[in-house]
A and B are shown apart, each in its own frame.
Chain A
Amino acid sequence: MQLSTMRLFKRCAMAAIVVASTAFAASGDASGPAPAFTLTSLSGQQGALSQYKGQVVMVNFWATWCGPCQQEMPLLDQMYKKYKPAGFTLIGVNVDKDTPPVKDLLARKPVSFPVLLDPANQVSKAYHVDEMPSSVIIDRKGEIRYIHRGYRPGDENEYQDRIRQLIRE
């Protein structure tokens, strides 16, 4: 009696693993015009996506309470400095509901790319953000070309490949 329950349990666990691996929402190619937005930065200045038309843009959605977001920030900063001369821009869209933690974090760990605030989450909704962090890569014509969900060490290589590809277009 016990042995058959064990077997059933093992089968259920295997099924779990199989279903799990097939149902993961993967990063991948995407299409469609990138929704326009205008947001305010920490210093109070307005920033709009349209300012960067003609450049390859990566919009990175992040939050102070999200561990993997913190992990990728320094790498995004490096990437921004490297490809900026070639016509690339990175916009960090912060989704925190309150501003003070964002100020604190950026004071301790500053980045050189523009950071805009989206506390009402309108832009996150427009871009259908379904994972934290999310990075959306937009080509020079303003079309979305690639969406990357989540962050794991090594993902920055994928980002760089896509950016280089789009810069060459």
Chain B
Amino acid sequence: MRASLKLVVVVGGLLLLEACSIQPWVKPYERDRLADPIMSWDRDAISGAYLDHVYESREGSRGATGTAGGGCGCN
């Protein structure tokens, strides 16, 4: 469980850092490309999950197959 403890500390640290406001270097009006559907991590949720399942039921490894973030950042 050492790994998950480290993970929790790192994520917690990042959250506290957020209090020191860093100015965004990519302005919200420059997010057009990132908002393009082709830039999303997984355009087709069922297909992505299905292929993950195909691999997971035949391989010895599992985990860490999803990421959030990107997009237009509106609101």
Residue numbers of A with Cβ under 8 A of B are: 1-2, 5, 8-9, 12, 15-16, 19-20, 22-23, 61, 63, 65-69, 95-97, 121, 124-125, 129-134, 150-152
Residue numbers of B with Cβ under 8 A of A are: 1, 4-5, 8, 11-12, 15-16, 18-19, 21, 24, 27-32, 35-36, 72-75
Contacts A67-B72, A150-B75, A151-B75; A130 near B12 (Cβ below 8 A): no
Contacts A5-B5, A8-B8, A9-B8; A68 near B75 (Cβ below 8 A): yes
Residues on B with beta carbons closer than 8 Å to the beta carbon of A124: 27, 29
Cross-chain contact of A15 among B4, B12, B72 (Cβ < 8 A): B12
Residues on A with beta carbons closer than 8 Å to the beta carbon of B31: 65, 132
A105 to chain B, nearest CB (A): 13
Q: Cα distance A150–B74 when bound, in Å?
A: 6
B15 and A63 contacting across the interface, CB-CB below 8 Å: no
B28 to chain A, nearest CB (A): 4
B8 and A19 contacting across the interface, CB-CB below 8 Å: no
A12 and B11 contacting across the interface, CB-CB below 8 Å: yes
Subset of 25 A-B contacts with CB under 8 Å: A2-B1, A8-B8, A9-B4, A12-B15, A15-B12, A19-B15, A19-B18, A23-B18, A23-B19, A63-B29, A63-B32, A63-B72, A121-B27, A121-B29, A124-B27, A129-B29, A130-B27, A131-B74, A131-B75, A132-B28, A132-B29, A132-B72, A133-B74, A150-B75, A152-B75
Contacts A9-B4, A121-B29, A132-B31; A15 near B75 (Cβ below 8 A): no
Q: Cα distance A90–B74 when bound, in Å?
A: 21
A67 and B15 contacting across the interface, CB-CB below 8 Å: no
Cross-chain contact of B72 among A9, A65, A97, A129 (Cβ < 8 A): A65
Residues on A with beta carbons closer than 8 Å to the beta carbon of B18: 19-20, 23
Residues on A with beta carbons closer than 8 Å to the beta carbon of B72: 63, 65-67, 132
Q: Cα distance A69–B31 when bound, in Å?
A: 13
B74 and A68 contacting across the interface, CB-CB below 8 Å: yes
